[in-house]
């Protein structure tokens, strides 16, 4: 198994923190949680705003209550 770099760990932690800040108390399909995390990590790897990517993914995947 390959070791993760410090940068990869930093991006993962930033993505998790953004989800905790903006996604707490919101209902999601369990299968979409990985997609939200991946959106943040992909943004971080691309040098984009991780928090903004997580917020966009939360809005995309949240369960809409009618």
Mean pLDDT by 10 residues, the chain (66 residues): 89 96 92 95 96 96 84
| Cα dist from 8 to 15, 16, 19, 40, 44, whole Å | 11, 12, 17, 11, 9
Residues 6+ apart with CB under 8 A from 62: 26, 27, 28
Backbone angles phi, psi at 28, to 5 degrees: -135, 155
Query: Quick check: pTM over 0.85?
Result: yes
Residue 1: the pLDDT is 67
């Amino acid at each position: 198994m390959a070791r993760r770099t410090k940068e990869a760990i930093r991006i993962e932690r930033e993505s998790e923190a953004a989800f905790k800040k903006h996604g707490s108390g919101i209902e999601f399909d369990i299968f979409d949680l990985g997609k939200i995390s991946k959106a943040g990590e992909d943004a971080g790897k691309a040098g984009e705003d991780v928090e903004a990517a997580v917020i966009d993914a939360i809005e995309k995947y949240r369960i809409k209550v009618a």
